[in-house]
Structure 1
Amino acid sequence: MNLRALVSVTGKPGLFKLIGQSKSGFILETLDDKKTKSTVNLSTTKMATLEDITIYGEEEEIRLIDVFEAIKEKGSHTPDIKNGQALREFFREVAPGHDESRVYASDMKKIISWYNIIKELPLFEEETPEPIQ
């Protein structure tokens, strides 16, 4: 799974594809059908690639990519995000060992909504390139 070009922007809902760089920041495109482009200023906006995001684990952090892979392998539809108990049980299956006291329902909802956004993208099927050593 190659999610390097996909980013989350603090304060903005949804996910974005990084498509370029300008003098003042980065040029992003929404992943919805509208394909709206916008520029974010790095001095005032925080953004993180999905590849770099981790969630709290009881022993060590769990990579978001690994959670997405587990959801994909599960093969079933994701739970209703309004049902807290079903959400927590689903997350115990796809992210075993996550720290339940520090991973909130809002975090789980966001991860599932992100998965539902990217599951149909060709990027989701690509292999992540190995780092050069």
Structure 2
Amino acid sequence: MNLQGIVSVAGKPGLWRALAQNKTGFVLESLDGKKTKLVVNLSTAKMAALDEITIFGNEDDIKLTDVLGRMKAAESVPDAKADGKAMREFFREVAPDHDEEKVYASDMKKILTWFHLLKEMPIFNEEAATAPAPEGEAEVTAAE
């Protein structure tokens, strides 16, 4: 999944796509059907890129992209309005090593809401852009 350029803005519901950058911040567009535009000033607003978000884990933090990938492969994903027990059981499946004391029901609800918003979008099924190999390093193939 290619979540590059998709951000969450503190205090604003939903997810946003970064369209452009200016001196003081970003121009964002909502991912919902309304396509609302928003100018975010970096000195006053907090933004988090989805491909950089992690979830508290017992040993190491778990990348959100890994959890969303497991959610995509899951047979049934509960609605964000499901009760806390159902969400916790689901998260035990898709993120078995998450820290149950630090990952609150509100966090799980937010991730489920994001998943249901993203799953219908073409970018969710795209492969993430990988960094090109440095010049001079060619792939080695075995010749028999």
Per the normalisation by structure 1, the TM-score is: 0.94
Q: Which residue of structure 2 lines up, in the alignment, with residue 125 of structure 1?
A: 125
CA–CA distance in structure 2, aligned partners of residues 36 and 107 of structure 1: 24
1:42-71 deviation digits (Å, cap 9, x = unpaired): 001110110000000000000000110011
CA–CA distance in structure 2, aligned partners of residues 60 and 80 of structure 1: 25
- The answer as to 2:79 corresponding to 1:74 is no
Cα–Cα, structure 1 residues 118 and 80, in superposed 2: closer, same or farther, change >3 Å? closer
Q: Which residue of structure 1 lines up, in the alignment, with residue 63 of structure 2?
A: 63
Q: Which residue of structure 2 lines up, in the alignment, with residue 98 of structure 1?
A: 98
Per the normalisation by structure 2, the TM-score is: 0.87
SS of corresponding position for 1:111: helix
Highest Rg: 1 or 2? 2
CA–CA distance in structure 1, aligned partners of residues 37 and 9 of structure 2: 13
Check conservation: 1:81, 1:87, Cα contact below 8 A.
no
Q: Which residue of structure 2 lines up, in the alignment, with residue 42 of structure 1?
A: 42
CA–CA distance in structure 1, aligned partners of residues 54 and 131 of structure 2: 18
The more displaced of 74-83 and 64-73 is 74-83
Cα RMSD, aligned residues only: 1.3
The more displaced of 39-48 and 22-31 is 22-31
Q: Which residue of structure 2 lines up, in the alignment, with residue 15 of structure 1?
A: 15
CA–CA distance in structure 1, aligned partners of residues 91 and 22 of structure 2: 38
Please state how far the C-alpha of 1:38 moved relative to its aligned partner: 1.0
SS of corresponding position for 1:112: helix
SS of corresponding position for 1:97: coil
Aligned pair count reads 133
CA–CA distance in structure 1, aligned partners of residues 109 and 43 of structure 2: 28
1:66-107 deviation digits (Å, cap 9, x = unpaired): 110011001323245341111100010011100000000000
- 1:107-118 aligned at under 5 Å gives the runs 107-118=107-118
Cα–Cα, structure 1 residues 82 and 75, in superposed 2: closer, same or farther, change >3 Å? closer
- The answer as to 2:88 corresponding to 1:88 is yes
Instruction: Indicate the percent of aligned positions where both proteins have the same amino acid.
Output: 55
CA–CA distance in structure 1, aligned partners of residues 51 and 75 of structure 2: 21
